[in-house]
Amino acid sequence: MGAVLRLARFRDGRLTFFALLDDDGRARPIQGDPFADDPFLLPERAARESVPVAGWEPLPPCAPSKIVGVGRNYRDHIAELGHDVPEKPLLFLKPPSSILPTGGTILLPAASRRVDFEGELGVVIGRRARHVPASRALDHVLGYTCVNDVTARDLQKSDVQFTRAKGFDSFCPCGPVIAVGLRPDDLSVETFVNGRRRQSSPVSRMIFGVAELVSFVSGVMTLLPGDLLATGTPEGVGPLEPGDEVTVSIDRIGRLTNRVEADRSAP
């Protein structure tokens, strides 16, 4: 692999901005919104001098117009849930309001008695994609991030449709960065709950790879810069409880860590 850029998004007071993270924990802020122009010009748009990130609040590294999920994309996960292998990618949508940064709190809704973690590779779109062939699909991908496709498993079973089960606020932790310059098949996804590893799988074991997914989704809907694809979870999913800490880790991207609490905001 060549050099990898790590794009993050922060808030400092009232100012929201993107920055490229350096290996020493410092960062080079970027002027404006890179997704509004050409995010592939990141190095040219970043400040020359790096500054400390202390005191900056981490945000999700992208603000997608839509989050496209892929169900049943690892054979072992299909087997553990007792489903059939799909002939084509099984798509669903999560609302942008479900997105959560690293360090944010996953809220367990009172409507569900079982909420599961699902560690996944996230794909962030960098160029508009519509009817893109698989051979050119990766040209439209800016980079990769960690995703936790949190799912109310009991509601998923009772509803048949996935919208409610996967759409609650805080049900799409994402981050900590977008890693630019990686090859997805070289990556592995791991998920830890309270420090115990619960999932571990190479991305290369997906049934439908990243290029095929981007191509397929772009034939259904136009993918815009900043949109997020959650590519499916490997085996090992399980329930979350109040007080848990869950981490999705992908080498060269980082660790997406969130606490879990009961949602007490409903009347």
pLDDT tens-place string over residues 136-158: 999 999 999 999 999 999 999 99
Bridging pattern class, strands 228-230 and 67-71: parallel
- pLDDT of 68-108, one tens digit each? 999 999 988 888 877 888 999 999 999 999 999 999 999 99
What pLDDT was estimated at residue 99?
Answer: 98
Question: Rounded to 5 degrees, what are φ and ψ at 119?
Answer: -75, 135
Q: Which CATH number fits domain 67-262: 3.40.228.10, 3.40.367.20, 3.20.20.60, 3.90.850.10?
A: 3.90.850.10
Bridging pattern class, strands 196-202 and 188-193: antiparallel
- pLDDT of 195-242, one tens digit each? 999 999 999 999 999 999 999 999 999 999 999 999 999 999 999 999
Q: pLDDT at residue 1 above 50? A: no
Q: pLDDT at residue 162 above 50? A: yes
Q: Could you count the other beta carbons within 10 Å of the beta carbon of residue 130?
A: 12
* Domain regions of the chain by residue span: 5-59, 67-262
Q: Could you count the other beta carbons within 10 Å of the beta carbon of residue 264?
A: 8
